[in-house]
Copies of this chain bind each other. A is one copy, B any other.
Amino acid sequence: MPRLSQKIGVYQEYLPHLSVDCVVFGFNENGLKVLLLKMKHREEWALPGGFVGQDETVEAAATRVLQERTGLEQVFLQQFHVFSDPNRSEGNSASSGDKQAAAWLNQRFITLGFYALVPFDKVKPQPDAISEACTWWDVEAVGSLLIDHNLILKKALEAMRLQLRYQPLGLNLLPAKFTMPQLQKLYEIILGQTLDRRNFQRKMMDYGILHRLEERKTGVAHKAPYYYKFNKQRYKQALKEGLEGGW
């Protein structure tokens, strides 16, 4: 019975009771987006998720899930919370025809929440075997999600906005060369509020993680903005040490 053992083998590759869920954020001019999956035979949409291999770090597992859904190799990934309510999957028993699959899916799962920041326009959302769709949703327009995924999304948003206060952001979301208005738009969309153009520029430049190029953007209406790029060394340093003094 090679088929059966193969199937069993698939799940045996993973650690039981443990899953990862990824809140994948992207942004375009219309707002902050999150990548969601529509499961077959289910009403609700869900966060892309997966399991942890026997010999894999949880970061690697999340990266793998992300690679499969978005095609992206290098993304900014951050673990932010562990969700472990024993009843979190209440009322969501799996109804697969495959008994092995059903048994696996009906376990109690403790899930590790990750959020990722990805370049919206470089992502080609791809559904997995058990999904019929995989698309971007406006964060504001997300309805009722599977299990506790609404809670996971909410926590991810909080964690990301908090992190924005003391860590730089943008290296993994913007092109190598970008303009100040682009960067500001990113911050505004993530924070959900408008910011003063001039104060924003001063603050960002004072952080010392940006370098202005001589080159200006061409082909745009009105005054051509300068291009900027991140000083990656200082950027990484700021990631470690934080941006603001505090005490």
Residues of A within 8 A of B (CB): 15-18, 52, 54-59, 79, 81-82, 84-86, 108, 110, 112, 162, 164-166, 187, 191, 193, 195, 242, 244, 246-247
Cβ distance A86 to chain B, nearest Cβ, rounded Å: 5
State the main secondary structure of chain A at its contact with B. mixed
Contact among B17, B56, B242 with A162 in the assembled complex (CB-CB below 8 Å)? B242
7 extra interface residue pairs, beta carbon distance < 8 Å, beyond A55-B86, A164-B247, A195-B247: A15-B17, A15-B108, A18-B18, A52-B110, A58-B84, A82-B82, A191-B247
Residue among A59, A165, A247 facing the most chain B CB atoms (10 A cut-off): A247
Closest to A87 in B: B55
Cβ distance A151 to chain B, nearest Cβ, rounded Å: 13
Contact A56 B110 (CB under 8 A): no
Bound Cα distance A162, B162 (Å) = 11
B residues near A16, Cβ cutoff 8 Å: 15-17
Contact among B56, B84, B110, B162 with A166 in the assembled complex (CB-CB below 8 Å)? B162
- Known A16-B17, A17-B18; judge A82-B165 contact (CB<8 A): no
Residue among A58, A81, A195 facing the most chain B CB atoms (10 A cut-off): A58
B residues near A82, Cβ cutoff 8 Å: 58, 79, 82, 112
Contact among B57, B58, B85, B162 with A57 in the assembled complex (CB-CB below 8 Å)? B85
B residues near A166, Cβ cutoff 8 Å: 162, 165
Residue among A81, A86, A164 facing the most chain B CB atoms (10 A cut-off): A86
Bound Cα distance A79, B84 (Å) = 12
Contact among B59, B79, B165 with A247 in the assembled complex (CB-CB below 8 Å)? B165
